[in-house]
Each structure stands twice: as C-alpha cells, then as structure tokens.
C-alpha cells in the first residue's frame, strides 16, 4: 500500500530518512481493526521520529503519523485515538507505562490503511470534515487536556500560550478563547502574532516580552527558549502546564527559588484519554469551533509539509489527504 515512512534517522537532517513509497499492509492483531485513511495531520512528533527520538533502529522502517480520520471496516466515519495501551491496562490511558503512540511501536497513519485497537475508534460527527477531524487526536487533544484537565482552568481565568504558531499552540489559543478564558500569546514572528489575535488571543507579545499582568496559568510546549519567561509570567500560586520542549529540554535556569517561593505548580501533560477525545469532539460540535488548518496537501506531498514544519513555517495544522 502507499505509505510515507522513515527508513533512517538523522538529528541534523531529519528529512533525509523520509521515503514516500510503498509498505506492506499493517498486521491486524486480535481485537484490532483496519481504518481506510481519508485525512491525517502532521505533528512535530513526526519530525522527532525522523530524528530517532522515541524509537530505535530496530523499529525501522516506520510509517509516520499519529492522527487519522477515515472509514472503518463497517463503513462508519471515525477518528482514531492515537494512544495504544497494553491490553491488560485499565484506567487513564496516558498513565500506562507501556503505552505508545501510533508510529512508535505500531505503524502510523501516513498510509492508505492503518490498524488500531477497536477501542481506539471515536465516531466522527457530521459537523466535522475528515480534514478537520484529523487535527484532533494529537495536537488538539493535548491542548484540551492541558487547559481543562491538567490545568484545571475555568472560564474567567487568564492563560499565556507560548509560541503561538504551532499545532498545539493554535489549538490552545482557540480552545482557551472558546472556553471563556483571557488569552495571551507570544510568538517570534509578527505575522504569527497578528494571526494569533485573529484566532482568539486577546493580547499578543514578542517571545520573552513582559506581560502587563501575571497570569493564572501558562501553557508551555516550547521548552528551554521560553521556560524562564513562563515562570516569571505566573501569579503566586499559578500553574505551568508543559507538554513539549521543541527548543530543547534544558533551560539556562530552572527557577527553583521562584517555584517554591511563589508556590507555583509545574504540571506535566501528555496526549489525553479516548474519553477526553470524545469530549473534545463534543466541545467543537457544541461551540462550532473548528481546528485551524494551515494547508491541505495530498499525502504524496508529505515532504513539503514536513519541510515547512522543520523550517517553522506553519500556523495551525498541516493536513494530508488520501482520496
Ligand atoms: N506530550 C504530548 O502529548 C505532546 C503532544 C503534542 C505535541 N507535543 C510537543 O509539543 C511541541 C509542539 O508540537 P507541535 O506539533 O505543535 O509543533 P509545531 O507545530 O512545529 O510548533 C512549534 C512551536 O514552537 C514554537 N517555537 C519553536 N522554537 C522556538 C523557539 N526557539 N523560541 C520560541 N518558540 C519556538 C513555535 O512558535 P512561533 O513560531 O509562533 O514562535 C511553534 O509554536 C513539540 O515539541 C511536540 O513534540 C507533545
């Protein structure tokens, strides 16, 4: 079948190991099913995979992609929850120590077909297109859990989103605004700051600029480049939720004194549960909120999308279609 996959890893030139070609159909273990992929979306995770982060050489060749919306074996329109659990796991899927994401241990979604556990299928409402739905399982679910589960935010509170342009960040801005929060955002790029305002940020700032007031919570995916600013932007007792470290995991200062003296809470967050994915779908259905799509490309043009993300030339989600 057609597939976009990693055949080797490179830290400095991640696209060098990318192949747009053919791979065998996926194996379908007991309790799993096959979904015909109609749309999928790109995540920074796919660049990490091409850099060899999160999987070893023995996993190659690995079909990329965590997200997909498509049609199941019974003809139902579905989206896929990307967290794959050990069959014996019960409870919050994100806390399973043996969990993986599609494209880490099991072949991913940048293909004609993908195999997933039946329990990972979520019905697709008529209000969302395949392209919109394909944005949800990783970036949008991560943003939902950061704000409303791990962050515990309520309408009327304030939040700072670091690095406005990314897939997770644009989801954070949109979901925060739809949920009644006061939204601040930063970006390195003036055009992206203007776009952030258009999609719901009340105020936008250059990366690292002082805010007019301290916020209840900061949503952090940038990592080392913004960590100090994030901690300095919190009110006493405020909460920093982190789900990624694109610019690196080791900030100049960890700000330990500030964390204890101001009684800040630093909370990790990863993906979300299938129940939260279903709630996110309901949230969008009820509010009419739509995922922000940067561009839609045929899956055969996956290299173009990955190059744009590698260059930071993205505002919202890059979607690949297979028709
Ligand atoms: N834990 C999880 O479950 C989970 C799930 C999804 C994503 N993630 C992680 O979250 C991160 C973002 O993912 P994504 O798919 O949204 O990636 P993306 O679309 O490539 O976005 C990257 C973001 O990082 C910002 N950025 C990058 N380098 C920066 C720097 N040096 N200084 C300031 N800002 C910088 C960009 O902001 P501007 O260009 O606007 O400045 C942009 O918002 C990745 O590290 C990813 O692995 C984790």
pLDDT by residue (tens digit) across 159-200?
999 999 999 999 999 999 999 999 999 999 999 999 999 999
For residue 164, what is the enclosing H or E element? none
The minimum-distance atom of ligand 1 relative to the CA of 171 is 16
Q: Determine the pLDDT at residue 274.
A: 95
What's the CA gap between 200 and 175, in Å, rounded? 9
| Residue with CA closest to ligand 1 atom 32 | 225
Is pLDDT of 323 > 80? no
Reported pTM: 0.97
Residues 6+ apart with CB under 8 A from 301: 320
What's the CA gap between 131 and 38, in Å, rounded? 8
Is pLDDT of 212 > 90? yes
Ligand 1 lined by 163 (C-beta under 6 Å): yes
The pLDDT confidence band at residue 246, using thresholds 50, 70 and 90, is: very high
Q: Determine the pLDDT at residue 99.
A: 97
Cα(44) to ligand 1 centroid in Å equals 7
Cα(79) to ligand 1 centroid in Å equals 23
Ligand 1 lined by 270 (C-beta under 6 Å): yes
The minimum-distance atom of ligand 1 relative to the CA of 268 is 1
The minimum-distance atom of ligand 1 relative to the CA of 189 is 41
> What would the DSSP string read from start to end of 241-279?
EE---TT-S--S---HHHHHHTT-EEEE--S--HHHHHH
Ligand 1 lined by 244 (C-beta under 6 Å): yes
Q: Determine the pLDDT at residue 18.
A: 98
- Tens of pLDDT, residue by residue over 22-47, are 999 999 999 999 999 999 999 999 99
Ligand 1 lined by 188 (C-beta under 6 Å): yes
What is the rounded average pLDDT for all residues in the chain? Answer: 97
The minimum-distance atom of ligand 1 relative to the CA of 222 is 24
CA distances from 12 to 55, 65, 140 (A): 17, 20, 28
- Tens of pLDDT, residue by residue over 254-286, are 999 999 999 999 999 999 999 999 999 999 999
- Tens of pLDDT, residue by residue over 122-155, are 999 999 999 999 999 999 999 999 999 999 999 9
Ligand 1 lined by 221 (C-beta under 6 Å): yes
Please compute, for residue 53, the number of CA atoms within 13 A of its CA located in the half-sphere on the CB side. Answer: 13
Number of residues assigned to the chain: 323
Ligand 1 lined by 192 (C-beta under 6 Å): yes
Q: Determine the pLDDT at residue 109.
A: 98
> Do the Cβ atoms of 208 and 179 come closer than 8 Å?
no
What's the CA gap between 62 and 133, in Å, rounded? 23
Probe residue for ligand 1, chosen from 81, 93, 150, 166 as the CB with the greatest number of ligand atoms within 8 Å: 166
Q: What percent of the chain has pLDDT over 90?
A: 99
Cα(6) to ligand 1 centroid in Å equals 21
For residue 49, what is the enclosing H or E element? helix 44-51
- Span 93-106, mean pLDDT? 97
Cα(162) to ligand 1 centroid in Å equals 9
Ligand 1 lined by 226 (C-beta under 6 Å): yes
Q: Determine the pLDDT at residue 87.
A: 93
Question: Structure tokens of 79?
Answer: 């989206």
The pLDDT confidence band at residue 59, using thresholds 50, 70 and 90, is: very high
Closest alpha carbon to 170 in 152, 143, 194: 143
Ligand 1 lined by 69 (C-beta under 6 Å): no
Give the pairing type, strands 121-123 and 77-80.
antiparallel
Is pLDDT of 288 > 90? yes
The pLDDT confidence band at residue 252, using thresholds 50, 70 and 90, is: very high
Q: Determine the pLDDT at residue 34.
A: 98
Cα(24) to ligand 1 centroid in Å equals 32
The pLDDT confidence band at residue 120, using thresholds 50, 70 and 90, is: very high
- Tens of pLDDT, residue by residue over 220-238, are 999 999 999 999 999 999 9
Q: Determine the pLDDT at residue 74.
A: 96
- Quick one: CA torsion of 318, 297, 124, 46, rounded to 10 degrees? -50
Cβ neighbour number for residue 220 with a 10 Å cutoff: 26
Is pLDDT of 67 > 90? yes
Ligand 1 lined by 243 (C-beta under 6 Å): yes
């Amino acid at each position: 079948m057609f597939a976009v996959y990693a055949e080797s890893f490179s830290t400095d030139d991640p696209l060098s190991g990318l192949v747009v070609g053919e791979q065998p159909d996926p194996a379908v273990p007991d309790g799993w099913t096959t979904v015909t992929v109609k749309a999928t979306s790109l995540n920074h995770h796919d660049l990490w995979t091409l850099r060899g982060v999160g999987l070893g050489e023995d996993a190659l060749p690995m079909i990329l992609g965590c997200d997909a919306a498509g049609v199941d074996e019974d003809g139902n329109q579905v989206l896929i929850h990307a967290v794959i659990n050990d069959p014996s796991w019960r409870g919050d899927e994100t806390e399973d120590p043996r969990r993986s994401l599609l494209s880490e241990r099991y072949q991913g979604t940048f293909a004609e077909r993908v195999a997933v556990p039946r329990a990972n299928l979520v019905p697709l409402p008529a209000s969302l297109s395949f392209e919109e739905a394909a944005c949800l399982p990783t970036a949008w679910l991560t943003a939902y859990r950061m704000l409303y589960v791990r962050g515990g935010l309520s309408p009327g509170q304030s939040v700072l989103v670091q690095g406005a342009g990314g897939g997770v960040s644009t989801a954070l801005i949109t979901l925060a605004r739809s949920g009644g929060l006061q939204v601040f955002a930063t970006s390195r790029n003036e055009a992206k700051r203007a776009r952030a305002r258009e999609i719901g940020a009340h105020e936008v700032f250059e990366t690292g600029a002082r805010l007019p007031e301290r916020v209840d919570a900061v949503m952090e995916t940038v990592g080392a480049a913004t960590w100090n600013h994030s901690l300095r932007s919190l009110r006493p007792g405020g909460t920093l939720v982190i789900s990624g470290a694109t610019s690196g995991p080791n900030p100049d200062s960890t700000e330990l004194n500030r964390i204890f003296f101001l009684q800040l809470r630093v909370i990790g967050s990863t993906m979300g549960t299938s129940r939260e994915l279903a709630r996110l779908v309901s949230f969008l259905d009820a509010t009419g909120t739509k995922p922000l799509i940067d561009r839609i490309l045929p899956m055969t043009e996956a290299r173009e999308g990955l190059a744009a993300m590698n260059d930071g030339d993205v505002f919202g989600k890059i979607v690949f279609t297979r028709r």
